[in-house]
Amino acid sequence: MALSAALKTVRDDIRAILTNDPAAHNLAEVLLYPGLHAIIGHRLAHALWRQGVPFVPRLISQLVRFLTGIEIHPGARIGQGFFIDHGMGVVIGETTEIGDWVTLYQGVTLGGTGKQRGKRHPTLEDHAIIGVGASVLGAITIGKGARVGGGAVVVKDVPPYTTAVGVPARIVVTRDPATGVTRRVERLPDPEGEMLRNLHDKLLELEERLQQLEDVTNHDHLEHHLSLSSSLWSILDETSDGDESYTLGAGI
Ligand SMILES: CC(C)(COP(=O)(O)OP(=O)(O)OC[C@H]1O[C@@H](n2cnc3c(N)ncnc32)[C@H](O)[C@@H]1OP(=O)(O)O)[C@@H](O)C(=O)NCCC(=O)NCCS
């Protein structure tokens, strides 16, 4: 009975890899995945840890860490169909609780903040996805079907069916689980883009002012010329009295 339950658990872990990783083509390849080795080692270590066996669970955990680069404390509770892609650098703390069909990418930390005792690591509900290098810190809950973007630092709860990105992480997308329709809820601050937009606006304003100045200068210039030439003509008119050679258009 226990053996068939254990085999079903391993089958689900393999199924999670085949379902989630487009690069996994067949069972033989999947058996090479360090994430699979780590979760099988952990399930053994956790069973011994629950029975109060001293030392051995930690030994298994450290051996698995040595072999895969994935460190899972034997006390962490992990559900069915758990998938760690690539794996290297993943750390899962003692009081972490992980639901079913959860995916972690490499470099994920499910850790404590260093300020809490007792339950001090995150809870990940079913179908959560935690992106590469994300740190999820403290006794917080990542809701069902929630996604955490690569590189995020999450220190507050993430509601179900939302996406959290950035440092510190913010909710940027919500998703209707029934239809899959997504909605943007917040634009992340973009200080460089904002600065470029301001500079562009300023440039347009300066161009406009320059154009106005040129228009005014050209107008004054023209008027100046017109008044100059009309005074010149009137002088010429005066001096040409009686002298045909100085009449308008005659020999100038
Ligand atoms: C977050 C993630 C799961 C996408 O979730 P999603 O709900 O489909 O979100 P979207 O792709 O619609 O992105 C929403 C916004 O967040 C931004 N965003 C997405 N991922 C981000 C990240 N990791 N960091 C910062 N911003 C991110 C997007 O640019 C978008 O903003 P925009 O609309 O202003 O362009 C995905 O981007 C991610 O990080 N996946 C991790 C995958 C991974 O670790 N792969 C490793 C393979 S080796």
Q: What per-residue confidence (pLDDT) applies to 158?
A: 98
Q: What per-residue confidence (pLDDT) applies to 252?
A: 43
Q: What per-residue confidence (pLDDT) applies to 240?
A: 61
Q: What per-residue confidence (pLDDT) applies to 243?
A: 53
Ligand 1 centroid vs 173 CA: distance in angstroms? Answer: 10
pTM of the complete model: 0.80
State how far the alpha carbon of 248 is from the alpha carbons of 222, 239, 243, in Å: 22, 11, 11
Task: List, in order, residues 6 or more apart from 3 with CB less than 8 Å away.
Answer: none
Ligand 1 centroid vs 182 CA: distance in angstroms? Answer: 13
| Amino acid occupying residue 133 | G
C-alpha to C-alpha distance for 149 and 156, rounded to whole angstroms: 14
Residue segments in the chain with a per-residue pLDDT below the cut of 50: 246, 249-252
Smallest CA-to-CA distance from 136 within 193, 95, 186, 80 is with 95
Q: What per-residue confidence (pLDDT) applies to 251?
A: 44
Q: How many CB atoms lie within 10 A of CB 244?
A: 8
What lines the ligand 1 site, CB under 6 Å?
86, 105, 129, 131-132, 147, 149-151, 163, 165-166, 172-173, 187
SS3 category, 173:
strand
Q: What per-residue confidence (pLDDT) applies to 107?
A: 98
CATH topology of domain 2-184: UDP N-Acetylglucosamine Acyltransferase; domain 1 (2.160.10)
